[in-house]
C-alpha cells in the first residue's frame, strides 16, 4: 500500500511510523494518562484498516488526522493534545521554507501528484519542471501574501478552488479568442520582429502558428482561432499562382488558354492548402511553449462565418483538408499514426451542412469519420447557439469557445458591431456544490444560506483575480496587448478598460451538481424532483452573477468547470470532512459541472437533450459528451448523433478510444486495472504491458483530449464511464 509524502513523492506505507509517533506523544503525559502498548497497536491497526478500505492513496496529513481521531475516540485527550502540538511544531518548521522539498521532488521526477496533475504535461521535461518550479514559488507567494487567509483556507479544504494559483503572482489572464484577422491583415510583431501581411496561404499558416506559440506563453489558459481568418489568403495564393503559371506557359511556348492556366493554378492552390494545414498541425504539436507543452489551441470551422462565394468555398477546402489530415493522425516515435491532443477542432453544424444533400454535406460526413477515428471535431449547433447567445439588440450570434469550453458573453462595440475575437477571460474560481450540500446536513434552509455564503466567498476571490489584472501595463505581453492578438494599446498603456463593461469575462465555476442534488433530494438530477432542485441551484448562481455584474460593471458568468486534478482533490476533502456517503462522497472524483454521473445508464440522445437545459444556464462555459464504442464502421450512427446535437444542444462531443501499445503493436483500447497496492494503472489487454512510457493513450479528460495520463480520481472516473450508444 502506497502513501504520498508532503513533498509529493509516493512511498510504501509503514505502520511503524504511526506507532513511533503515538509513543512519542504518549511519553509526554503523566503515566496515569498514557495509552497501553495494546491500545497503540490497536490505533495503528485501525488506521491501516481505514486506509485499505478506501480505494485511493492517502497523504501524510490525512493519515495524521486519522491517528488523532483514533486517540480521541479512546478518550485519551492529553495524548491527543501532545500529538497535535507535535504536528503543529513540525508544521512551523516546514513553513519556514515551504517549497524546497516540493521543488527537489520535481527535479528528481518522483513527485506523484505533479506527474498526474496535468494530462498534457510531461513532468520529466526540463521546461515543464521549470514551469512547475516557478509555479510552486508562485503558489507559495499567493498563499502567504496575495490572498486573504479565509480564501486560502477554503481553497485548501476543497470548499472552493482558486484556479491556476501557480500563475497568480504574475499579471496573467486565463484564455482568449485570438484576433488572427487583425494580426494577419494589419501585420504584427513577434519577438521585436515586424511580421507584415502574408503573401500566400502557407505563409499565413506559418505566421499563425508562431502567433499561437507566443500567445500561449503569455497566458495560462486555452486560445482559439478561426479558419475564417486564414481563408482570404487562399485567393492571394490563387492570384499569385495564375501569374506564375501564365509566365511558365509563355516561356514554354504554350497557348495561353485561360481555362488550362486556371486548372493548373488551382492544382497548385490545392497543394498549398495541404501544405498550409500540415504546417498548422505539425507546428502546433511540435512547438513547445514556455510552460513545456504544446499550445492549448482550438481551431474553429464555421462555413457561415464568411460571405457566400469564393471565400466560403476556399474555407470549405481548408476545413476538408484539416479533417483529412486529422483522420490520418501524426506519427509517434515508433512511426505509428496516433491521435494528437491538439489542436482541438470544432465544427459548426448549420443548415448548409447538416442535411443529406445540402451543399456541404460531404464535409459533415468527413467530420463524422474524423470523430469516429480521432475524437474530434466537437460540434456546435448554429441553430441552438443563435437561441442562447443573444446580444442587447436581441440578435443571436455563433462563435467559438476559448480553449475547450469557456464562452464569452455577447458584446457590441462602439460602432454597433458584434465583437468576439480579441476578447478574453480574467480567471476562474469554482464552488464545490457537494460541500455546500453536505455542510447543510440536508436542511433546505441551511443549504441556501450556506450556498449564499460560499457564493460571496467566490465573489471576493474572483475580485482578487480582477484586481490582480488592474493596472497591468501592455508591455507585459506585447503580442497580446500591443500587436493585435487582443488589442492595439500603446506602450505603457494599462489594460484596465478591457476589464470592464463586457469586453472580457470572469468565471464562477461549479462542480458536483449531480452529487449535490442526490444528497439534498435523494434522487439523481435526471429524476423528477431532482431536476427541479438542480435547476434552482443553477439559477441561483446566475442570479448572483447578474447582481455582481450590476454592482461592478464586470461580466461575471457561470462556468461549467472542467475538473481535471481538482476532481480528486475535492473528493479527498469531502471524504475527510464528511466520511463516505453512498452516492455522494464514496468515489475518488466528483462529477464535472452539470453532467449526468458517468455511471448512470442513459442513452446518448436522452443525455444530450437533458443536459441542454443546463447548458443554457451555464453561459460562461459548458460542453456535453456521449461515450461511444468504436464507430469507424458505423458512421451513420455518428451522423445521427450529430443531427441530434444540431436540433437539441449547443455544444457537444463524442468520446471514443484511440490507443496504441508500443510493446506489441496492439491498437485497441488500453484498459485500466488495479495493481497489488490497490492503485489504478493502465494495461495492454493483449500483452499485459503496464509501462506508461510504452503506450499511447488518448482520452477525453474534460472537454479536451489528454495524453499524459491522469491522477487516481480522474482515472477511476474514466474507468467507470458507461456507454451511451
* Catalytic option among 211, 401, 404, 516: 404
- Helix axis angle for 15-27 and 37-53, nearest 10°, is 140
Phi-psi region of 502 (alpha: psi -120 to 50; beta: other; left: phi over 0): left
Q: Give the Cα separation of 636 and 622 in Å (integer).
A: 26
Active site residue 174: yes
pLDDT tens, 212-249?
A: 999 998 999 899 999 999 999 999 999 999 999 999 99
* Whether 379 is catalytic: no
Rounded-to-integer distance, Cα 72 and Cα 81, Å: 9
Contact 398, 380 (CB under 8 A): yes
CB atoms within 10 A of CB 485: 30
Give kind and range of the element (H or E) at residue 193.
Answer: strand 193-195
Mean pLDDT of 648-652: 98
Residue 399, pLDDT score:
98
Q: Does residue 21 surpass a pLDDT of 90?
A: no
Q: By the 8 A CB rule, do 681 and 690 touch?
A: yes
* Catalytic site residue from 329, 403, 422, 703: 703
Report the candidate in 702, 447, 696 with the shortest Cα–Cα distance to residue 593. 702
Confidence of residue 641 (pLDDT cuts 50, 70, 90): very high
User: Which tens digit of pLDDT belongs to each residue from 145-160?
Assistant: 899 999 999 999 999 9
Q: Considering the chain, what is the average pLDDT of its residues? A: 90
Q: What is the pLDDT averaged over residues 299-322? A: 97
563-589 pLDDT per residue, tens: 777 888 999 999 999 999 999 999 999
- The better pLDDT of the pair 101, 215 is held by 215
**588-607 pLDDT tens trace:** 999 999 999 999 999 999 99
Active-site residue 175, yes or no?
Answer: yes
Predicted local distance difference test score (pLDDT) of residue 653: 97
pLDDT at 412 over 60: yes
Distance CA 164, CA 461 (A): 13
What is the tens place of the pLDDT at every residue in 483-509?
A: 999 999 999 999 999 999 999 999 999
pLDDT digits (tens, 9 = 90+) for 359-410: 999 999 999 999 999 999 999 999 999 999 999 999 999 999 998 899 999 9
From the list 388, 519, 559, 651, the catalytic residue is 559
**Residue 320: active-site member:** no
Say what percent of the chain tops pLDDT 90: 67
Q: Which of 138, 406, 440, 565 is catalytic?
A: 406
- How many alpha carbons lie under 13 Å from residue 93 in its C-beta half-sphere? 6
Yes or no: say if 76 and 31 are a contact pair by the CB < 8 Å rule. no
| Region 289-315 average pLDDT | 88
Out of 205, 375, 401, 402, the active site residue is 402
- Active-site residue identified among 26, 44, 165, 174: 174
**pLDDT confidence band for 543 (50 / 70 / 90):** very high
**Comparison of pLDDT for 550 and 129, the residue scoring more:** 550
Q: What integer pLDDT is reported at residue 407 of this predicted model?
A: 97
Query: Is 559 a residue of the active site?
Result: yes
Q: Which residue out of 425, 507, 612, 624 is catalytically annotated?
A: 425
Within the chain, all domains assigned CATH 3.20.70.20 are found at 176-388
Q: Specify the length of the chain in residues.
A: 725
Would you say residue 100 has pLDDT above 60?
no
398 is known as an active-site residue: no
Residue 198 has pLDDT above 90, yes or no: yes
pLDDT tens-place string over residues 160-187:
999 998 889 889 999 999 999 999 999 9
User: What percent of the chain is modeled with pLDDT above 70?
Assistant: 92
Domain 176-388 has CATH 1.20.1300.10: no
User: Annotated catalytic residue: which of 564, 611, 653, 717?
Assistant: 564
Q: Using one digit for the tens of pLDDT, what is the confidence trace for 663-685?
A: 999 988 999 999 887 889 999 99
Q: Does 26 qualify as catalytic in the annotation?
A: no
**Over 90: is that where the pLDDT of 88 sits?**
no
Known active-site residue 425: yes
Residue-wise DSSP of 36-67: PHHHHHHHHHHHHHHHHHSSSPEEHHHHHHHH
Least confident residue range of 310-319, 666-675, 699-708: 699-708
Name residues whose C-beta falls within 8 Å of residue 16's C-beta, 6 or more positions apart in sequence: none
Which pLDDT belongs to residue 619? 97
- pLDDT score, position 373: 94
In terms of Cα–Cα distance, which of 353, 408, 317, 326 is closest to 705?
326
How far apart are alpha carbons 534 and 514 in whole angstroms? Answer: 8
Residue 3 has pLDDT above 50, yes or no: yes
Per residue in 109-118, pLDDT (tens digit) is: 555 554 455 5
Burial readout 628-648 (b: 16 or more C-beta within 10 A, e: otherwise): beebeeeeebbbebbbbbbeb
**Any catalytic annotation for residue 61?**
no
CA quadruple 47, 48, 49, 53: dihedral, nearest 10: 100
Question: What is residue 8's predicted lDDT score, i.e. its pLDDT?
Answer: 62
Q: Beta strands 651-655 and 624-627: pairing type?
A: parallel
- Gap between the Cα atoms of 101 and 6, Å rounded: 8
What is the per-residue burial (b if ≥16 Cβ within 10 Å, else e) of 257-270? eeeebbebbeebbe
Q: Which residues contact 417 (CB under 8 A, 6 or more apart)?
A: none
Region 138-142: what's the mean pLDDT? Answer: 81
Catalytic residue among 175, 375, 642, 702: 175
Higher model confidence: residue 140 or residue 338? 338
Amino acid at each position: 500500500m502506497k502513501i504520498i509524502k508532503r513533498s509529493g513523492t509516493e512511498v510504501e506505507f509503514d505502520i511503524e511510523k504511526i506507532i513511533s509517533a503515538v509513543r512519542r506523544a504518549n511519553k509526554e503525559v503523566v503515566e496515569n494518562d498514557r495509552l497501553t502498548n495494546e491500545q497503540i497497536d490497536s490505533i495503528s491497526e485501525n488506521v491501516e484498516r481505514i486506509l485499505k478500505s478506501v480505494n485511493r492513496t492517502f497523504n501524510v496529513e490525512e493519515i495524521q488526522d486519522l491517528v488523532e481521531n483514533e486517540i480521541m475516540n479512546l478518550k485519551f485527550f492529553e495524548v491527543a493534545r501532545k500529538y497535535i502540538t507535535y504536528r503543529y511544531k513540525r508544521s512551523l518548521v516546514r513553513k519556514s521554507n515551504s517549497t524546497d522539498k516540493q521543488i527537489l521532488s520535481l527535479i528528481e521526477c518522483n513527485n506523484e501528484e505533479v506527474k498526474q496533475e496535468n494530462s498534457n504535461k510531461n513532468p520529466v521535461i526540463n521546461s515543464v519542471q521549470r514551469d512547475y518550479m516557478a509555479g510552486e514559488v508562485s503558489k507559495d507567494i499567493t498563499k502567504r501574501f496575495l490572498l486573504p487567509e479565509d480564501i486560502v483556507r477554503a481553497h485548501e479544504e476543497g470548499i472552493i478552488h482558486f484556479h491556476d494559483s501557480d500563475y497568480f503572482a504574475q499579471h496573467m489572464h486565463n484564455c482568449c479568442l485570438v484576433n488572427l484577422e487583425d494580426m494577419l491583415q494589419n501585420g504584427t510583431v513577434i519577438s521585436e520582429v515586424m511580421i507584415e501581411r502574408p503573401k500566400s496561404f502557407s505563409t499565413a499558416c506559418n505566421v499563425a502558428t508562431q502567433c499561437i506559440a507566443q500567445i500561449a506563453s503569455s497566458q495560462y489558459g486555452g486560445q482559439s482561432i478561426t479558419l475564417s481568418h486564414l481563408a482570404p489568403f487562399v485567393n492571394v495564393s490563387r492570384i499569385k499562382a495564375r501569374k506564375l503559371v501564365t509566365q511558365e506557359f509563355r516561356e514554354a511556348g504554350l497557348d495561353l488558354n485561360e481555362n488550362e492556366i486556371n486548372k493548373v493554378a488551382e492544382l497548385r492552390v490545392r497543394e498549398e492548402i495541404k501544405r498550409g494545414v500540415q504546417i498548422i498541425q505539425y507546428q502546433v504539436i511540435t512547438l513547445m511553449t514556455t510552460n513545456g507543452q504544446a499550445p492549448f489551441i482550438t481551431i474553429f470551422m464555421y462555413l457561415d462565418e464568411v460571405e457566400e462565394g469564393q471565400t466560403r468555398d476556399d474555407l470549405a477546402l481548408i476545413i476538408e483538408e484539416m479533417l483529412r489530415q486529422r483522420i490520418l493522425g501524426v506519427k509517434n516515435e515508433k512511426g505509428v499514426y496516433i491521435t494528437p491532443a491538439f489542436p482541438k477542432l470544432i465544427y459548426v453544424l448549420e443548415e448548409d451542412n447538416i442535411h443529406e444533400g445540402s451543399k456541404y454535406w460531404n464535409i459533415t460526413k468527413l467530420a463524422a469519420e474524423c470523430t469516429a477515428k480521432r475524437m474530434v471535431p466537437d460540434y456546435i449547433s448554429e441553430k441552438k447557439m443563435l437561441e442562447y447567445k443573444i446580444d442587447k439588440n436581441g440578435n443571436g450570434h455563433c462563435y467559438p469557445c476559448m480553449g475547450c469550453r469557456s464562452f464569452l458573453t455577447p458584446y457590441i462595440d462602439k460602432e454597433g458591431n458584434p465583437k468576439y475575437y480579441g476578447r478574453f477571460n480574467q480567471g476562474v474560481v469554482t464552488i464545490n456544490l457537494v460541500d455546500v450540500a453536505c455542510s447543510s446536513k440536508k436542511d433546505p434552509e441551511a443549504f441556501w444560506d450556506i450556498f449564499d455564503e460560499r457564493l460571496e466567498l467566490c465573489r471576493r476571490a474572483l475580485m482578487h483575480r480582477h484586481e490582480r489584472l488592474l493596472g497591468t501595463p501592455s508591455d507585459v505581453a506585447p503580442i497580446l496587448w500591443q500587436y493585435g492578438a487582443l488589442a492595439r494599446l500603446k506602450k505603457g498603456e494599462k489594460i484596465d478598460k478591457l476589464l470592464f463593461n463586457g469586453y472580457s469575462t470572469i468565471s464562477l465555476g461549479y462542480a458536483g451538481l449531480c452529487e449535490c442534488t442526490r444528497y439534498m433530494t435523494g434522487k439523481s438530477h435526471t429524476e423528477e424532483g431532482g431536476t427541479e432542485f438542480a435547476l434552482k441551484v443553477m439559477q441561483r448562481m446566475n442570479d448572483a452573477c447578474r447582481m455582481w455584474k450590476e454592482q461592478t460593471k464586470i461580466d461575471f458568468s457561470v462556468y461549467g468547470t472542467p475538473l481535471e486534478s481538482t476532481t480528486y482533490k475535492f473528493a479527498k476533502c469531502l471524504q475527510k470532512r464528511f466520511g463516505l456517503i453512498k452516492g455522494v462522497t464514496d468515489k475518488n472524483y466528483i462529477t464535472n459541472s452539470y453532467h449526468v454521473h458517468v455511471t448512470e445508464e442513459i442513452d446518448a440522445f436522452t443525455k444530450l437533450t437533458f443536459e441542454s437545459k443546463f447548458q443554457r444556464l451555464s453561459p460562461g462555459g459548458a460542453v456535453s459528451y456521449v461515450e461511444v464504442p468504436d464507430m469507424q464502421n458505423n458512421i451513420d450512427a455518428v451522423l445521427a448523433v450529430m443531427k441530434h446535437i444540431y436540433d437539441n444542444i449547443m455544444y457537444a462531443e463524442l468520446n471514443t478510444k484511440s490507443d496504441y501499445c508500443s510493446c506489441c503493436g496492439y491498437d485497441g483500447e488500453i484498459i485500466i486495472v488495479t495493481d497489488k497496492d490497490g492503485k489504478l494503472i493502465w494495461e495492454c489487454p493483449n500483452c499485459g504491458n503496464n509501462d506508461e512510457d510504452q503506450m499511447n493513450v488518448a482520452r477525453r479528460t474534460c472537454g479536451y483530449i489528454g495524453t499524459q495520463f491522469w491522477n487516481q480520481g480522474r482515472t477511476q472516473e474514466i474507468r467507470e464511464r458507461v456507454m451511451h450508444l
